[in-house]
Structure 1
Amino acid sequence: MNDRMLRLYPAGYRSAYGEEIVDVHREMTADLPRAARLRADADLAAHALRVRLGLDSASRGGRFFAVAAPFTLAATAVSNGLVLTRWYAGLVISPAPAWTQLSHTDLPVALHLMFSLSVCVGAIVALTGRWVLGVAAAVCGLLGTAVQGVLDAPLAQGGGMTSAVTLLAAAVVLACPVDRRPGKGLSGAAAAVAGIGWFPVVVADTGAFGVTTDYGVWPMLVLAVAGAALALRRQSSGAREIGAVAVASTPLAVAALAGAGPDLWPLIGMLLVLSLSAALGTCAIAARRRR
């Protein structure tokens, strides 16, 4: 380990823990082959960057993103899952044979569906215990969608805004500290949010309940309730949990705005009510905590 790598840490952190970092790193990499040593160096550099950005597991930012990451995966799974199910519904409803439709699918559309599938599969894999593998697949899908949002705005609804929030979602997921990856409880809660947020919208799209649209607010409502429930269970002030689900809901909010077309006022009103409810919920949780 050279001094240049140690300088990646902030000066205060380096002066307090620098010798310990050097000794532990030297001991861990002493007998490793070159490839493994390079991986260890990369891990150390990543940790130094997290400390410098305030995203290590001991910082407030790290604890915040540890909560936001699984719910962001859930939100992206919902939005991309709706893309896939609505495409499949169109495939089934069309009078043309399915194979004919598939064989005439444009390459950009096929790529868009593949990116959405990658996000959904990645989220499922990550939230069921294979975090690194799942995050890799989900982030690849998110980055692909972000590129399409710039190059082919009509395909990825929202265009540049979709690209921005998709990149934000990828950054939130990657910002989760390595030693604060969600456990079974938090992953299970995020997976439940994804299922509850996705399935009723799919049922509503079929017209089974005589409902044509929820203006895209239902999944965000599910996220807000999940954040409040998590804060109550942890007996915290609620600011971190509700803030985390607010960040996680940005892909859903942009998708709702892009799909609303000219009829924006009902959606804006619902978003304002949802935001006010979340703020009141945070205040109520804080008041209960002070009792």
Structure 2
Amino acid sequence: MTHSLPVSIDETEQLLDSQNYVADRALATVLFLALKMGRPLFLEGEAGVGKTEIAKVLAAALDRPLIRLQCYEGLDVSSALYEWNYAAQMIEIRMREASGDISRDAMRSEIFSERFLIRRPILQALEGEPGRAPVLLIDELDRTDEAFEAFLLEILSDNQVTIPELGTIRAAEPPIVVITTNRTREIHDALKRRCLYHWVDYPASDRELDIVRRKAPRANAELSAELVAFVQRLRGIDLFKAPGVAETIDWANALTELNAVALDPAHVSDTLGVLLKYQDDIQRMERGESREILTEVKRELAKAS
């Protein structure tokens, strides 16, 4: 059964919390406004901070289909919107020729009908049923080029697309649109103006600890506190790629599988590949910096207790 949209910021926070997504007030506010105003939500931030998860959580909490368009270099309209099933069209043409039915107008009308249309994510989202419009996730838009951004403007402005052979297809109810970018390049202002914007930052330590408790419940309290404090310190130094929340959760689960009840130098050294994804960063930690960070973390937590 489809759930109604939240009617307040508090209810939006509760909706996210029901799916174990720990959001701050600012995120809950912009999400509430995006839903209330029917505007796309543009989420920017480092990889692994939970941008994509917001769309998944929304779809699950509202009981709506999630339609994901994963962006990549070279993504074009046919891959994002629609394309014709050329193989099936050719078979239809050959069958008509074999039967003697070669009326050009009738053949054109038939082969460019909806039964030969392959719907890609954006068209699927626009054709959602009223009352249960899907969540459309346009993920990592910064991987595409400016031409694809320009194509999106009609979608975001008018919730419609034009297919030359069929005409204009307009959404009976606009989809809930979530756009994410890792900021590997700047997105044009024309597209951003059509959205509500939010920068998704790394969480503060108390919020990240809450996330770990929810997503890695088998990790005990001491281990969870130590690994979160360790990751928080890593983000403060000059790494090629600081670990995101996703890596923190993976690390907690990995250490639990190793039956760790607290961080020690051996466990840290053996599992750095779970937390860090670049060899230069791993080598830097292995030269002794990880031991120094671990010592500081344990000292600070001991004082706090």
Greater C-alpha Rg: 2
Whether TM exceeds 0.5 here: the answer is no
> TM-score, normalized by length of structure 1?
0.27
Higher helix residue share: 1
Higher strand residue share: 2
> TM-score, normalized by length of structure 2?
0.26
